Chain A
């Protein structure tokens, strides 16, 4: 799980970015990508005006993968207009069911 350094002002941007990304919903599972555990890290750099998101998908063949990645970029660029967003996709570690948060599990179970 991600950690926050309250002495670093960039932390507040990162925290807001985490919350913003809860609006990106997996269209099949109807659960947001944060609670699905797809986002690994978010790093903000206020000097370079840069936001770097490292995330994964449930599988490389995920049919909505491209839309989710685009959604992350769109969502952050709309909020942090003077920041450049870089969404990096990684397969390591691979996504698994253990990535899903307790809240995500509750939402899935309905």
Chain B
């Protein structure tokens, strides 16, 4: 009785810092993409691509996930965040580690800077994981739900990815790992993409999508299947690829996460069909469309496995396309949509929350610019199309167009985000 989750004043500052840092990283990716457009024609394991990939995976995506998680995990678990000091410490460690790691990758200096950066990043990840686990411990209803299990397990995968990343950084200098560096890089990438990003996004979105759509049907049993198939598939992939490399069994193993995603897709479709809110706003439209990009990436998987098993050189181009579709396609579009679904609420609550009911106030959706969101969507579509052309053809022109479109997308996003964060109090609907 009478218990609700209240917004702590410090939460706003923590979330704002994460969103802004992430948006700046996104703009930087657009700039670096331009300078490295020629490098996209070659192999994926090269300094500039490593720098951009880590800036995207850690600075752009993970940073905003950390911020969004601090805002949304209390909503999903229906309890307050465990504390506010550790998220700040985690943020500082993560950001400074990111700067060191990306700079040393770009110049490819596998020395102290790179090692220190990797260790600082791991410290930041550990801080985040502790906050999430302690928040879960505050639950009055001790029975864990599937959303919480997904979030907790994704944190374990994040730490595992981080530990392997640190080992890989030290391996560049001391070469102590028993097998090929690229073999471990493959494991590192899949643990991050499948275990951290996919599992966390499913855990959070499976709760938020039906909430935003006001869906009557939420088949939570499907999510149990998703959880076990995804984790089972990832574990099988990590063990089998470590022992034997990519082989014919990999086809079967890849079926597990693919099945998990298809089941999740069915869950989303059921939510969509049983929704009570007919019109999808732009942020929700981007969110739903982002999953199609993930589906496209998963459909490429058998071709990549085939290229590795048959030792065909096309595997490199397909691997780049796969990575780009997941990281810069699915995850980016998801953020470009969800940021304007979640952040305006935080700002609205801070500015208008205490005075609600006294006077007419704008709605959270009035805080961002629809026009900028549309331009952002058009620029992003241009980026995706030119990126696919670039990855498959290896030509420099589509790479330059892609970098221009990406930069425009990032600038629209940063501008709109700043507009939300600097919103001044007005009365009446905008």
Contact = CB atoms under 8 A, between A and B. Distances in A.
Interface of A: 23-25, 27-30, 57-75, 78, 88-91, 97, 100, 105, 108-110
Nearest to B279: A110
Given A27-B364, A74-B356, A61 B349 contact: no
Contact of B363 (A25, A68, A90): A25
Interface string B341-380: 0000100110011111110100110000000000000000
Given A67-B349, A88-B2, A61 B276 contact: no
Contact of A89 (B1, B216, B345, B357): B1
B67 to A, nearest CB: 15
Contact of B214 (A27, A59, A97): A97
Given A61-B77, A108-B214, A109-B278, A73 B357 contact: yes
Contacts of B277: 29, 108-110
Contact of B4 (A28, A29, A65, A108): A65
A66 B4 contact: yes
Given A27-B345, A27-B364, A108-B214, A67 B5 contact: no
B312 interface: no
Contacts of A73: 357
A-B pairs with the 5 shortest C-beta distances? A71-B356, A71-B357, A74-B357, A61-B78, A75-B357
Interface of B: 1-7, 71, 74-79, 211-212, 214, 216, 276-279, 345, 348-349, 352-358, 360, 363-364
Given A57-B4, A63-B349, A97-B276, A74 B77 contact: no
A110 B214 CA distance: 13
Contacts of A65: 4-5
Contacts of B5: 60-63, 65
B274 to A, nearest CB: 10
Given A60-B78, A61-B76, A110-B278, A67 B2 contact: no
A68 B7 CA distance: 13
A28 B212 contact: yes
Given A29-B214, A72-B357, A63 B345 contact: yes
B292 to A, nearest CB: 24
Nearest to B362: A27
A63 B2 CA distance: 15
Given A30-B363, A108-B278, A109-B277, A66 B74 contact: no
B276 A108 contact: yes
23 contacts: A23-B357, A25-B363, A60-B3, A60-B5, A61-B76, A61-B79, A63-B5, A63-B75, A64-B353, A66-B7, A67-B352, A67-B353, A67-B356, A70-B353, A71-B356, A71-B357, A78-B358, A89-B1, A89-B3, A91-B1, A105-B276, A109-B276, A109-B278
Contact of B358 (A27, A64, A75): A75
Contacts of B212: 28
B358 A24 contact: no
Contacts of B358: 74-75, 78
Contacts of A62: 4-5, 75
Contacts of B364: 27-28
Contact of A90 (B1, B6, B345): B1
A24 B357 contact: yes
B4 A89 contact: yes
B75 A27 contact: no
A61 to B, nearest CB: 4
B276 A69 contact: no
B5 to A, nearest CB: 5
A50 to B, nearest CB: 18
A28 B356 contact: no
A90 B357 CA distance: 20
